Chains A and B, each alone.
Chain A
């Protein structure tokens, strides 16, 4: 009994000390500046140096947190537990967050650098007057492949090439219902926003015939695995492909001509924001030509910032694989917010396809 009481005391004392230490650390870190913003972004999606520069220039501290899916991000913002000042959802999620009244309007007069953005990327259908969102990066969904590991006639200018029998057990797919089912729909010449059971059925049946070629359906692990040549072909986002090609020079990237997905990630200010001024300052800072050019160089996705492009390596911005010309861009489709019912159906079909791959 005596030792039990001693142990209890020891635990209580340790806990009190820990709480004291936490308070001490928190007060010392926030005493330097009262100005702090919390940025909620995708992983590996900003140059850390840029954040330091921002703090140096404005005196605003940045707490940086990351998420790995639009849905997870929205759920956290909805719950309202933490005060995010800036978040970076994709276009269909912006649409949804506007619908659910989760965003604050953005004051354009506080964003003088907005002039740097290519007008092509402003006033898009998901937020017609950019009242709630400012473009950050954009890209496509396509096929990254190693020409040394696939037959010569495969150039992936058509989705049909994925079905080539020589690719048995050589294809990685990204673990996303919209990407994979969308690819299925594109391959039968339909829109990747289709809301029609017979079309979804046809697309899934078509995908099931792809099963022998599918080696695995995985998430971000695709990047290191493709760099190591674990598979010859992968369906993935353009920026991820750029990362892979940076590390493994054998790889090549193509967007099939039947069409694919065109996506935009955007800065927004969630309703939960505690420092709206700071959020505007941060967005404006990120739109600065030099900052943006440096950040683009690090992240590797395609930028909508025209002024920054002038400062970047011409070889990068003339690469039509990552900066497709307008004719090709017009063939690409932006995801629409499907609504929960249809999103659920896409996921059911995707699950059925996953069940078939072995």
Chain B
């Protein structure tokens, strides 16, 4: 196999390396660059734990070759830190903290990057759009409720109001006697 030179801008910094064509972007980030926020969960394009932004769009880095990212820009969760150096200053990570949008935390970097990409594509999110937009990210703790709330907060929405609208929007989706939460 012939090594291939790649130049990938990762979190604003130009990185270069000579890689085997079969090297996955997830491995390039973790092993070559030491950026370990990006987790590999299922390794089969299902769970979304490895989600990063490629030129601003969410992708699963276990199913992208490093050579496919050549000359492009990658953002990982480390890249959300900004000038303060504290990634919790970013609106999406701050919302995950405020709403406790995680349990064990393994899926969190992928969730955060998927939400960041989702808001960039559609700043006017409602609950349905968040749930459909996170279809490619699994939380095996099943902590979805607070993750969805965190996404709504990150998009500048009132999560209680949005969830009430969604609960009332479709009788078929509301169990008999279901409390919609107002005044609870």
Are A and B part of the same complex?
no
Listed in ascending order, the chain B residues whose CB lies under 8 Å from chain A are none
Taking beta carbons and an 8 Å cutoff, which residues of A are in contact with B? none
